[in-house]
Chains A and B, each alone.
Chain A
Amino acid sequence: MGGMTTTAVTATPVVGFEQVTKSYGSVRAVDGLSLVLRPGETVALLGPNGAGKSTTLDLLLGLKQADTGKVEVFGTSPREAIVAGRVGAMLQSGGLMDEVTVGELVKLACDLHPKPYKVADVIARAGIAQIADRKVNKLSGGQAQRVRFALATAGDSDLIVLDEPTTGMDVSARQAFWATMREQADQGRTVLFATHYLEEADAIADRVLVLHRGRLLADGTSAEIKAKAGARRIAFDLDGEIDEVPIRSLPFLTSVTVSNSGSAAGSGHTIRIQSTDADATVHALYGLGVYPRNLEVAGLGLEQAFVAITEAEEAKQS
């Protein structure tokens, strides 16, 4: 590997979407999406069902054609990148060939890859050595996912695309899977995965893309996404009748909910606040002359950040 190659790889984005649109009838699944993936990134694609994640991956892999805009993978068409063996992919909708053994299927994937690994290595890495002689149609959901992973990593690909890869796996299998995946990323590969499990995005990805209604809502590290949604959650109780107006005008708030806590004599309230600067908000709260009880200040998980961002977007649209 000379310096020339490295320069060339850094210069060309791994994936480039330019104003990409894809509709099904009147539904815009992907709506003017632009994004660039750089070599070596581990990127999570996050979004609720129907956000356009699967369509985005299908466009990226050349399984669907964009209505407008441009999709490039390593500076070429998706199909060319696949033919060159630069992309390994595992789709939720990707099925397996029935009535052959796991080992035979992995061998096929290695035979088809231009830069294949040894069959035994692929099997070992995917953790399917014990089921290599089993027929594909006799596998559990989690085992089938591992076989799909083996097919996606049958050769030395530069980009690995995974659509909800740990669906159907139990917790330990999920952890083992991500350990394997990290090895792939540590070897300098670019990894893009769509997931429902937000803790996975938080723990594994160094960049998170939040997709909603086919558009990119947020793009940053998971810490940045959390900050964008209001980084901290503050909760406390107030007794008696309260005046909501000064509470709602506390500084650095992104959201406030007030509910009856139903405690002593039914007159208490619980207030939940999200704040981008919890210290300043709490300081101002005491400045109001109230006496908050059971005060809690906690970090916002990515899941709540994600819900906050999509809710804010939906409020904007309605």
Chain B
Amino acid sequence: MNSLIKLELTRALRNRKFLFFSVIYPSVIFLLVSNQTGTVDGTGLSIAKYVMVSMASFGALTAVLMGNSERIAKERENGWVRQLRLTPLPGRGYVLAKTASAAVVSLPSIVVVFIVAAVLKDVRLDAWQWLALTGAIWAGSLVFAALGVAIGYLASGDAVRPITMIVYFGLSILGGLWFPSTTFPTWLQDIAKWLPTHAYAALGQAIEQSQSPHAKDVTLLVVYFALFAGGAAWLYRKDTLKA
């Protein structure tokens, strides 16, 4: 199990495109957007602070969603999943190794944005806030890791990339990771506030406002996690019987 995690991680760290989009790209967007001064309506947070949390969440989302769904779909198709079932590795070990290695990459995605924000944009927070932000965004990314696994077991090797892209951009944009959802028309805001990405970014914003995360957001994330993880487990079992 550990050796599979290590190998998955080695592979992820070798993939420059993946590392660029999950670790570097969010910081680049942060630098481009955070030049504006002022505050974001309804939050009292400076644009730099607001975008920092959005981009840290976006980076973690990229790290846990993009690699896994595509790999799982492809490896189901090429038979690597079958080959692993001929080893003593427990069935769920494959999914756990993928999730664990994604979690290792998502941590730098979060921290690099924070460092860039603190050093280049003078974002200042209390020590507990930095720690709580890192912990909350990292833990929250598990929701999307489960979603990535579910997509990997749902989609075929050909369809997985477009499906992942639609889900990824849809959740990022509508959830308000790119532009504050307060700039949306009201009807769209009504939809956006029920999305997992919206609740995810709201965790970090609450911490920046020195509040504890809202019960509604936490509940929403827990429900989505149960939904995605349950769906992934169900699809996994179906796939195992079929293979």
Contact = CB atoms under 8 A, between A and B. Distances in A.
Partners in one complex: yes
A99 B81 CA distance: 15
A96 B11 CA distance: 13
Contact of A63 (B15, B80, B82): B82
B82 A91 contact: yes
Interface string B1-42: 011100100110011000000000000000000000000000
B10 A100 contact: yes
Nearest to A85: B88
Contacts of A130: none
A126 interface: no
B87 A95 contact: no
A107 B7 CA distance: 10
A97 to B, nearest CB: 5
A82 B86 contact: yes
Nearest to A79: B85
A232 B142 CA distance: 69
Contacts of B7: 97, 100, 104-105, 108
Nearest to A136: B80
A63 B88 contact: no
A302 interface: no
B80 A97 contact: yes
A94 B75 contact: no
B243 A95 contact: no
Nearest to B240: A63
Contacts of B2: 111
A89 B82 CA distance: 11
A99 B15 contact: yes
Contacts of A208: none
B82 A112 contact: no
Nearest to B242: A64
B83 interface: yes
Contacts of A108: 3-4, 7
A107 B79 CA distance: 19
A98 B72 CA distance: 12
A91 B243 CA distance: 13
Interface string A73-98: 00000000011110111010111111
Interface string B85-104: 11111000000000000000
A109 interface: yes
B78 interface: yes
Given A82-B87, A108-B3, A113-B88, A96 B80 contact: yes
Contacts of A113: 87-88
Nearest to A89: B86
A112 B88 contact: yes
A13 interface: no
A204 interface: no
Given A107-B3, A112-B3, A151 B83 contact: yes
